[in-house]
Amino acid sequence: MCLLQRDEKGKGAASKAIALAILLALLLVFSTLVIAPPSLHRVLGEVFDNNGLDAALTTPVWINLTLSNITYLTYTTGPPTFENSYDINVMGIDNETIVIRSWNATHYGQNITNLSIDPGDTITNIYFLLQRGSEANVSLKGPFNHSVFNTSALFNITANITILGADATSCGATLSIVNESVYNITSGETFTQNLGDISRLDSALAVWESSAKAIGSSNYTITSSCATDGVILLFLNTASVFNVTVEQGAPVVNLSSPADLATVSQFNITFAYNVTTTSSVSACSIYFNGTLNETDSVVTPNIEQNFTIGDFGNGDYSWNITCVDGNDYTGASKTFTFTVQAKPDLGITSANITFDVAAPIENQSVKVTANVSNTGTLDATNVVVRFYRGNYTLGVQIGSDQSINVPIDSSNATNVSFYAQIGYNNIFVVVDPPAGTSGSVEESDESNNIANNTLSVVSSQYIAGNLTGSLTLGDSTGRTLIDWEVSNTSGSNIYVADSDSTISFDDLQALGRSTTGAIESNDFEELDILINTTNVTDSIVSLYLEGGSPRELSTFSIFGKAIENVSIINSTNSTNFRTGILWDTSDDDSANEVFDESDEEDVVFITTINIRSQGAYGLYDYEIRIPATLRQYVGASADAVSIYAELR
């Protein structure tokens, strides 16, 4: 509230001005109280990769606070929490919108949320649901920061462009120079170079011939992009060099060997150069990838000099030499690049994991062979090869560690044996374990030491044979009551069920039908669950259904009763023998009139005798196809199936 008193001329207006100032001050205080200053907020969660699995340890997590545009970079840390968890404190405002991204080599995930009100935690999980686009990684090869050239000297501005994320098309690299009067590209060069299409993890070299123009210093920047670029995650597509200087009268340094773009295989390399000057030379220094490595203070100008450097690992390097003359002028050479390949590179692929049995049956011994290659430049000895059933991080090792020698540009194989199980037998091979480390063999590439291949074992078993002979029914005294000569059983039925089942043949019904005859398509899926065949190639659903409906229906006469709409398939490779599935309605304990997983009613596989007919394995009277796990349907006491014959 403000009280105005008009006791003198003009005082009322002054009082109004004072009141307005007070009001504005109050509003300012009010606004200051409403907008809280930034405070620490805890942001945490889990990261899941594109396979729905926990992301690997040290997976990057990037967070952007949209109001301040401040970014944070952290990584999944593992213990004491989950391996795929991240946890970071950021300085932000309550309810501020944040963008969280995480990625691996080929996929990424993004979540946009708001910071929780302090002291609450912001919990956000990231899922790699998006495929990465291409993204350039610009690696400068020279000149580097603080390089010095003579006026009129020619030198190359060089960058290596590596593509991350995905294959790229229509790539280019653009050079920008802050002060083109100091140095500039030569005539015929263009600031933007077309690099074409580049596959993921492949590289292209961009080189601009340039010349020193005038005394001074300038910076330059190289930016690369492709038509297929997506969200930029690593921000490596731009790189800059600062303070490239042009001086008058500096010594001229020329590199001799290794030649530009050379590939060498030695660990110790001699780098030859020549420095030309009218003065003495105080010192020359050699740089690798822009970092000083060694300085020589005893240099003779105008004749070849050299540095011998060792302990290079496999990879790409750039090198250049700077020399200081007696007048303290500094001259720099061009920058050359070279590649060192002087270590083994062991590798295994899915194609090089093979099985000696292409279509094994359950519990058959199978030999799995791993053919390990060495594409490096050193022989590899005592290489450990380890086999696993299932993913190597969770699976069970098969046999013991195998040890082999793998020469350069060659391969060597080793094997173990295992017993095939019904379903998919996914066999992993790890070369030079533990996975993801250098193991006992230091290699040029550790990322190609794991592969897997899958061997599928079907659940189906086949029973075939003849049904002829004599049946005699007698009493306790040994008298023959009925002497039945079985010579023609055509049209009779063969039944197969778990030996622990008690079948009421008068109460059988077609699987896929209720007791009232209504369609129940879920029966087949539920039977797969009960006999553990859901994830095998010859599951009940895959064999008997097509598009959710039975492939074929038939009618069976069972003890004089016609059972209609029985789903059937060929027992093997012809229509001479058919197999159908029935269920025992007398086991419908819940009285819901349908076959279901909860009641687990007995099931019976049925075929009709077809005298002396051609089957997959010869001429016989019957042939029926059953899942091997039927023997464990009711219980494991017998672990067998029983075969019943209804003779007519």
Residue 405 has pLDDT above 80, yes or no: yes
Close Cβ partners of 1 (under 8 Å, ≥ 6 residues apart): none
Residue 402 has pLDDT above 50, yes or no: yes
Percent residues over pLDDT 70 in the chain: 91
Decide: 146 and 245 in contact? Cβ < 8 Å.
yes
Report residue 482's pLDDT band, with 50, 70 and 90 as the boundaries: low
Rounded to whole angstroms, the Cα distance separating 618 from 44 reads 66
Report residue 526's pLDDT band, with 50, 70 and 90 as the boundaries: very high
Q: Give tens-digit pLDDT for 590-644.
A: 999 999 999 999 999 999 999 999 999 999 999 999 999 999 898 766 789 999 9
Hey, do 39-131 and 135-340 end up sharing a CATH topology, with the first three levels equal? yes
Report residue 418's pLDDT band, with 50, 70 and 90 as the boundaries: very high
| Higher pLDDT, residue 131 or 487 | 131
Question: How close are the terminal C-alpha atoms of the chain, in Å?
Answer: 111
- Residue 481 confidence (pLDDT): 59
Quickly count: other Cβ atoms within 10 Å of residue 348's Cβ: 24
Quickly count: other Cβ atoms within 10 Å of residue 47's Cβ: 27
Mean pLDDT value of segment 144-156:
87
Map residue 213 onto helix, strand or coil: coil
CATH of domain 39-131: 2.60.40.1120
Question: Nearest to residue 107, comparing CAs of 32, 53, 170?
Answer: 53
Report residue 549's pLDDT band, with 50, 70 and 90 as the boundaries: very high
| Higher pLDDT, residue 53 or 474 | 53
Close Cβ partners of 427 (under 8 Å, ≥ 6 residues apart): 353, 368, 387, 388, 389, 398, 418, 452, 453, 454, 455
Rounded to whole angstroms, the Cα distance separating 355 from 367 reads 6
- Residue 279 confidence (pLDDT): 80
Residue 6 has pLDDT above 90, yes or no: no
- Ranges 40-44, 76-80, 204-208, 481-485: which has the least confidence: 481-485
- Ranges 64-73, 163-172, 224-233, 311-320: which has the least confidence: 311-320
DSSP E strand boundaries for 359-436: 365-374, 380-389, 396-406, 410-419, 423-431
Structure tokens at 404: 């082999």
The pTM of this model reads 0.48
Structure tokens at 352: 């090089």
Rounded to whole angstroms, the Cα distance separating 213 from 211 reads 6
- Residue 342 confidence (pLDDT): 77
The rounded radius of gyration (Å) of the Cα atoms in the chain is: 40
Decide: 535 and 458 in contact? Cβ < 8 Å.
no
Q: Give tens-digit pLDDT for 530-548.
A: 999 998 999 999 999 999 9
Rounded to whole angstroms, the Cα distance separating 16 from 290 reads 68
Query: Rounded to the nearest 5 degrees, what angle is found at the Cα of 487, between the Cα atoms of 486 and 492?
Result: 70
Report residue 557's pLDDT band, with 50, 70 and 90 as the boundaries: very high
Decide: 405 and 378 in contact? Cβ < 8 Å.
no
Question: Nearest to residue 519, comparing CAs of 561, 564, 557, 484?
Answer: 564
Decide: 79 and 85 in contact? Cβ < 8 Å.
no
Report residue 323's pLDDT band, with 50, 70 and 90 as the boundaries: very high
Rounded to whole angstroms, the Cα distance separating 492 from 560 reads 11
Map residue 540 onto helix, strand or coil: helix
Decide: 147 and 332 in contact? Cβ < 8 Å.
yes
Report residue 378's pLDDT band, with 50, 70 and 90 as the boundaries: confident
Quickly count: other Cβ atoms within 10 Å of residue 158's Cβ: 22
Task: Please report how many Cα atoms fall inside a 13 Å half-sphere around the Cα of residue 25, on the Cβ side.
Answer: 6
Q: Which CATH superfamily is domain 347-457 in?
A: Immunoglobulins (2.60.40.10)
Phi first, then psi, for residue 601 (nearest 5°) are: -60, 150
In this structure, CATH architecture of domain 135-340: Sandwich (2.60)
- Residue 19 confidence (pLDDT): 46
Q: Give tens-digit pLDDT for 230-282.
A: 999 999 999 999 999 987 777 889 999 999 999 887 778 999 999 988 788 99
Question: Nearest to residue 436, comparing CAs of 59, 56, 79, 84?
Answer: 56
- Residue 646 confidence (pLDDT): 86
Q: Give tens-digit pLDDT for 336-375.
A: 999 987 788 999 999 999 999 998 988 999 999 999 999 8
Alpha carbon distances (Å) from 559 to 172, 242, 376, 505 = 80, 95, 73, 8
Q: Where are the domains of the chain?
A: 39-131, 135-340, 347-457, 462-646
Structure tokens at 32: 């200051």
pLDDT mean across residues, the chain: 89
Structure tokens at 488: 């023609």
Decide: 318 and 309 in contact? Cβ < 8 Å.
no
Reported as type and span, the H/E element at residue 225 is strand 216-225
- Residue 264 confidence (pLDDT): 86
Mean pLDDT value of segment 304-328:
90
